[in-house]
Structure 1
Amino acid sequence: MSRVQAAPLQGFSGQLAEIARVQDWWSCKFSPVLATFYASACLTGLPVWPLLPQLLLLLLGLTVGATYVSVINDWTDQADDHAGGKYNRLANKSRAFPTILLLLCLGTGLVLGIYFWRCSPLSGLLYLGSWVAFSCYSLPPIRLKKRGLAGVLSDAAGSHFFPQLLTVSLVAAWTDQTLPTLWYAAVGVWALACGLRNILLHQLDDVEADAQAGVTTWVTLRGARFAQRFGQFVVFPVEVLAFGSMLVISQQLWPVLLLLVYAGLEVFKWRLWSSPPMVLQPNSRIMLGEYYEVFYPLAFVLALSARHPIDGWVLALHLLLFGLRFWQTLRLVGWAGSLVVRKILSRVG
Structure 2
Amino acid sequence: MLHNFVKTILSALRAFLWWNHLAPPVLAVFYFFLWHESIAFGPFLLPLGLFLLSFAGSAAFGYWVNDWMDIAADRLAGKPNAVANMKPWQRIGVTLILQALGWLPWLYLPATYQTLGLLVALYTALVVYAVPPYRFKDRAILGIVCDLCYGHLIPVFIALAAFSQLLGAKVAHAGQLLWIIAIILSLKGMRNILEHQIKDRKNDALAGIYTFVQQIGALRSAAILSYILLPLEAILLAALCLILGSALLWSLLLFFAIYAWLLFRWGYFRGSPKRWLFRLWYVPNDFYEAWLPVTLLSLATAQQPLNGLLLIAHLIIFPGTLQVPLWLLKELRDVWHQRTN
TM-score by length of 1: 0.86
Tell me by how many angstroms 1:107 deviates: 2.3
Partner of 2:99: 106
Tell me, yes or no, if the aligned pair for 1:145 and 1:151 is still in contact at 8 Å: yes
Taking structure 1 as reference, are residues 154 and 116 closer, same or farther at Cα in structure 2, changes over 3 Å only?
farther
How many equivalent residue pairs? 335
- Code of the residue aligned with 2:210 in structure 1: it is T
- 1:332 is aligned, of 327, 335, 338, to 327
Partner of 1:43: 36
- 1:295 is aligned, of 291, 304, 317, to 291
- 1:322 is aligned, of 318, 323, 326, to 318
Matched, 1:60 2:53: yes
- Code of the residue aligned with 2:310 in structure 1: it is V
Matched, 1:23 2:16: yes
Tell me by how many angstroms 1:336 deviates: 2.0
CA RMSD, 1 decimal:
2.6
Query: Aligned partners of 1:12 and 1:320: how far apart in 2?
Result: 28
Partner of 2:134: 142
SS where residue 282 of structure 2 aligns?
Answer: coil
Tell me, yes or no, if the aligned pair for 2:140 and 2:210 is still in contact at 8 Å: yes
Query: Aligned partners of 2:5 and 2:201: how far apart in 1?
Result: 33
Taking structure 1 as reference, are residues 340 and 37 closer, same or farther at Cα in structure 2, changes over 3 Å only?
farther
SS where residue 90 of structure 1 aligns?
Answer: helix
- 1:131-189 CA-to-partner distances (Å, cap 9, x unmatched) read 11111111111111111101101010001100111111112110122332233222222
Tell me, yes or no, if the aligned pair for 2:8 and 2:83 is still in contact at 8 Å: no
Tell me, yes or no, if the aligned pair for 1:138 and 1:144 is still in contact at 8 Å: yes
Query: Aligned partners of 2:196 and 2:140: how far apart in 1?
Result: 14
Tell me, yes or no, if the aligned pair for 1:39 and 1:300 is still in contact at 8 Å: yes
Query: Aligned partners of 1:344 and 1:40: how far apart in 2?
Result: 45
- 1:155 is aligned, of 134, 143, 147, to 147
Taking structure 1 as reference, are residues 113 and 153 closer, same or farther at Cα in structure 2, changes over 3 Å only?
farther
Taking structure 1 as reference, are residues 241 and 155 closer, same or farther at Cα in structure 2, changes over 3 Å only?
same
Partner of 2:213: 219
Structure 1, unpaired ranges of 5+: 1-6
- 1:172-214 CA-to-partner distances (Å, cap 9, x unmatched) read 1101223322332222221121111111122112111212222
- Code of the residue aligned with 2:219 in structure 1: it is R
Query: Aligned partners of 1:38 and 1:262: how far apart in 2?
Result: 21
Query: Aligned partners of 2:276 and 2:285: how far apart in 1?
Result: 10
Partner of 1:80: 73
- Code of the residue aligned with 1:247 in structure 2: it is C
Taking structure 1 as reference, are residues 280 and 165 closer, same or farther at Cα in structure 2, changes over 3 Å only?
farther
TM-score by length of 2: 0.88
Tell me by how many angstroms 1:239 deviates: 1.9
Query: Aligned partners of 2:23 and 2:175: how far apart in 1?
Result: 23
- Code of the residue aligned with 1:72 in structure 2: it is V
Structure with the greater relative contact order (CA < 8 A, sep ≥ 6): 1 or 2? 2
- 2:190 is aligned, of 190, 196, 204, to 196
Partner of 1:3: none
